[in-house]
Amino acid sequence: MTGEAEHPTSETGPLDGLTVLDASRVLVGPFCTMQLGDLGADVIKVERPDGGDQTRGWHPPTYGDSEESAYYLSVNRNKRSVTLNLATEAGREVFRDLASEADVLVENFRVGTMAEWGLGYGGLRESNPGLVYCSLSGYGEWGPHRDRPAYDVMMQAEGGLMSITGEENGPPVRVGVAVADIGAGMYATQAILAALLERELGDGSGQKVDVSLLDGQVAWTSYMASNYFATGDTPGRMGSRHPTIAPYQAFETRDGYAVVACASEHIWPRFCAAVDKSDLADDERFATNADRVEHREALDAALEPFFAERTTDEAVSRLREHDVPVSPVNDMADVFDHPQVHARGMHQSVDHPTAGEVEMPGSPMHFSRSRAGIDRHPPLLGEHTEEVLRAYGYEERDLGRLRDVGAI
């Protein structure tokens, strides 16, 4: 990346000037809106007054000596928190006022809940035709299972991911982070940006966006689905192995694991030289990638001693000397001590009023002119209620009335 890209010339993000009304909770919605906030949008997070986003109470762990949930802090930076009780008509009226001037609305209530409250897309677009309204759910807004509850582990299972994750002949394993939620959150961000662009290029009209966790997981099956369609055989669990490339997997070392990606025929001779197995390059069983895949058991048996006799650092260094793609399996401490992670600005921190300095991953989006970064700490519950409502014309007597009826 050029020096210009490393140091954006603008102090604002590409979405500066856009307002996002965030009525989502837990992970899929907050992850989406955090990305929009990283890009410069003003994200107004609407939380219920009695406890707020459920993840505020998901602890341990908390950050330092505070009561701030590490989970909540991980996906709620760059937002302002407003407390609104949407179970009250007064709270819903305030929400309609906020939605009338928003560019984007994101919600992940159970399908139909927002419409029951009179806060569905059909009603809100009447006062705000340019609104991009994104609904996130487990199964989507139509189909026979639209009303079912959904959680990430269920979606990893139902969408097929757990059928291909884990060791061969072992039990199914969920991916270590909630990839069904995070994946759907990324698709939602992509869809919202596309709808905003279409609005800009078109007649200024917004539209409804419907993203589901199940759809996202099915989309992520990608080449595994293609393999199934091509052969009729359902892929199984292979540990770290790849179904169509070999060697492309983790090998156990004396003190850990080294991951090798021998992803082309050009790499194979270098790999053989690196592991002191030049004879393998002349072995007909391993002449091509297809041959190596067919005879992977024999190949693994020939390669495993090299790694077992060495530490991870020794094995990785040896393979890198021969320009073979290789990596240790890093834990979180290794990741956030990684020089490339630091160079790319992916280890960030922000001051928090109760938790002190909060460390977090940075934004992976980099621009030559605009900036994507952390400008606001994850908000305290209701920290910005008065600030936001006053900006929308609410005066002290209005705020008092809303407090009296339990709306804020």
**Residues with catalytic function:** 181
Q: How far apart are CA 21 and CA 19, in angstroms?
A: 7
Query: Which parts of 35-154 are beta strand (E)?
Result: 42-47, 79-83, 104-107, 132-137
β partners of residue 136: 211
Residues in the chain: 408
* Helix boundaries (H) for 83-151: 89-100, 113-116, 121-127
Q: Which residues contact 60 (CB under 8 A, 6 or more apart)?
A: none
Q: How buried is residue 404: exposed, middle or buried, by Cβ count under 10 Å (0-12/13-18/19+)?
A: exposed
Cβ atoms of 381 and 364 within 8 Å: the answer is no
β partners of residue 133: 105, 208
- Would you call 32 helix, strand, or coil by DSSP? helix
Q: How far apart are CA 352 and CA 62, in angstroms?
A: 13
β partners of residue 137: 212
**Residue located via tokens 């080449």:** 223
Cβ atoms of 377 and 77 within 8 Å: the answer is yes
Q: How buried is residue 284: exposed, middle or buried, by Cβ count under 10 Å (0-12/13-18/19+)?
A: exposed
**Residue located via tokens 């190949």:** 299
Indicate the helix (H) or strand (E) that contains 334: helix 332-335
Indicate the helix (H) or strand (E) that contains 208: strand 208-212
Q: How far apart are CA 114 and CA 80, in angstroms?
A: 21
How would DSSP label each residue in 327-395? EE---HHHHTT-HHHHHTT-EEEEEETTTEEEEEE--S---SSS-----SPPPPTTTTHHHHHHHTT--
Q: How far apart are CA 378 and CA 156, in angstroms?
A: 28
Indicate the helix (H) or strand (E) that contains 359: strand 356-361
**Residue located via tokens 């793609």:** 325
Vertex 210: Cα angle to 205 and 213 (nearest 5): 155
